[in-house]
């Protein structure tokens, strides 16, 4: 939907593809044309490279935007698109192989002297080799998909007895999500901050950075809340991260949008983690603080245009926060929640909602759990937090459980408000039973409110429409129930 909207604003015709179970999806209805891929499983549909290119040829399209996942960082797919005479809206396949492959990217970083987390620079052949490598690192370690992102194919391993099972699981997840089962291992850092740097490059070799995003609020190594700027990054650190990101991108001849991810430890030392050679889910917070439309720039760069601005032209204003609304149950380990969206009402007002669903849609087990992204901007961080809290209270979803209660919990937590959190926030501070308690408390408050309204309504001088509006309270309660 994000890409379709950008195309509309640029007067570009959009063509969607869809699996069998996505036949009535919002992106299918909103695109100018739509074609079926068939199947339901990713390998039958959105990972079917040949079928996608065949449909693109049949539709006489000019370019393919790969989105956020699936084939977005697959160099073979980018190559296939180019060989078919179409434009891949992303970096060149060579750049994807150099930086999109996590092991290759680590090699490049080390060659350039950019600090990296200790670990292998080649994919592991098997679990036996992995255990030999761990002898050099010591536990805990992190197994990661070489071709992936978004937390897929990642497993923390804290003992030798866990390694074999974790290795097989990471391989299976990577194969299912990206069609590539290669994994590598690196030292797991307990409690760092996850900071990433947005970059843009063009085919003339010009690369700039657009500021950092704080992405430390995560569950299962997947981001839930992101913001820009980070309270942990000052001007000096921002320049160091930006310079490192630009050096890496230029080394690969990188053109288009991309994100360099770093870990920042308690001593202020940063380590290159990986690069996402694509547009990221959380890109709106950068758009809100810079005023630059990243999807528009992706398309213009893919058309061969140079970036219209230089590094000195980039100005940052205010603070932006994004909350991911996912169909998951925070009270049950963030397990996926499936079902029909019987009620779906997004917040209004001074807020940005990137939405992909509507009432009546069925949430299945096949794809990512992300329903929508709520993005709040404020002149200051407290103002942005307040705007986000108001918006989440007004987001009403029935039919599936969501991450909204978790996001509300985080926004009000002392560590988040003070900016003293890191990637271990969920493990350290989140107690799922608190959400159940909040629901009970709010039900009691609603019951009391209903009693007071009923008593007031018995007065002959009191009009029904003068009673306190209940939608805010209902919306908040529904969020917790959902």
Look up residue 97 and give its DSSP letter: I
Maximal C-alpha separation, the chain? 82
- Element holding 388 (H helix, E strand): helix 381-394
Q: Count how many residues are written for the chain.
A: 482
Which ranges in 31-125 belong to alpha helices (H)? 49-58, 75-83, 93-95, 102-112
Look up residue 266 and give its DSSP letter: T
CA distance 443 to 159: 44
Residue 278 among the catalytic residues: yes
What are the tokens at 225? 């809340």
CA distance 169 to 153: 7
Buried b (16+ CB within 10 A) or exposed e, 458-479: eeeeeeeeeeeeeeebebbbbb
Burial class (CB in 10 A: 0-12, 13-18, 19+), 269: exposed
Task: Count the helices and strands in the chain (H runs, E runs).
Answer: 17, 21
Residue tagged active-site, from 238, 278, 324, 393? 278
Q: Do 35 and 15 touch, CB atoms closer than 8 A?
A: yes
Catalytic residues: 278
């Amino acid at each position: 939907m994000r890409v379709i909207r950008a195309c509309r604003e640029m007067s570009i015709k959009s063509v969607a593809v869809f699996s069998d179970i996505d036949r009535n999806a919002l992106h299918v209805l909103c695109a100018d044309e739509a074609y079926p891929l068939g199947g339901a499983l990713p390998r039958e549909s959105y990972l079917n490279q040949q079928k996608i290119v065949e449909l693109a040829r049949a539709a006489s399209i000019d370019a393919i935007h790969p989105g956020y996942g699936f084939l977005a960082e697959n160099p073979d797919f980018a190559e296939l698109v180019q060989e078919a005479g179409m434009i891949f809206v992303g970096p060149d396949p060579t750049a994807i192989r150099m930086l999109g492959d996590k092991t290759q990217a680590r090699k490049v970083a080390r060659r350039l002297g950019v600090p990296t987390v200790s670990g292998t620079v080649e994919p592991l052949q098997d679990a036996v080799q992995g255990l030999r490598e761990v002898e050099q690192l010591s536990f805990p370690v992190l197994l990661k998909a070489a071709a992936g992102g978004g937390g897929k194919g990642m497993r923390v391993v804290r003992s030798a007895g866990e390694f074999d099972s974790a290795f097989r699981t990471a391989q299976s997840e990577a194969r299912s999500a990206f069609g590539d089962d290669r994994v590598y291992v690196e030292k797991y850092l307990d409690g760092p901050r996850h900071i990433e740097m947005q970059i843009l490059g063009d085919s003339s070799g010009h690369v700039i950075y657009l500021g950092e995003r704080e992405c430390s609020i995560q569950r299962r190594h997947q981001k839930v809340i992101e913001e820009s700027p980070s309270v942990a990054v000052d001007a000096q650190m921002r320049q160091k991260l930006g310079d490192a990101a630009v050096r890496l991108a230029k080394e690969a001849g990188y053109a288009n949008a991309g994100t360099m991810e770093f870990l920042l430890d308690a001593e202020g030392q940063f380590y290159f983690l990986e690069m996402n050679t694509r547009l990221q889910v959380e890109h709106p917070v950068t758009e809100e603080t810079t005023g630059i439309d990243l999807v528009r720039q992706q398309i213009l760069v893919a058309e061969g245009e140079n970036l219209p601005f230089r590094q000195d032209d980039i100005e940052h204003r205010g603070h932006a926060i994004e909350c991911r609304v996912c169909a998951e149950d925070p009270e049950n380990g963030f397990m996926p929640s499936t079902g029909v969206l019987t009620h779906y009402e997004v917040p209004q007002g001074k807020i940005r909602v990137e939405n992909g669903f509507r009432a009546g849609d069925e949430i299945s087990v096949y794809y990512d759990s992300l329903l929508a992204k709520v993005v709040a901007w404020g002149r200051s961080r407290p103002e942005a937090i307040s705007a986000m809290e108001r918006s989440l209270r007004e987001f009403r979803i029935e039919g599936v459980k969501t991450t909204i209660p978790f996001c509300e919990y985080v926004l009000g937590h002392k560590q988040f408000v003070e900016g003293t959190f890191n990637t271990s926030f969920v493990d350290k501070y989140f107690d799922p039973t608190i959400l159940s308690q909040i629901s009970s408390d709010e039900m009691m408050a609603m019951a009391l409110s209903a009693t007071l309204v009923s008593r007031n309504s018995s007065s002959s001088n009191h009009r029904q429409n003068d009673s306190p509006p209940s939608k805010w309270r209902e919306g908040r309660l529904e969020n917790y129930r959902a």
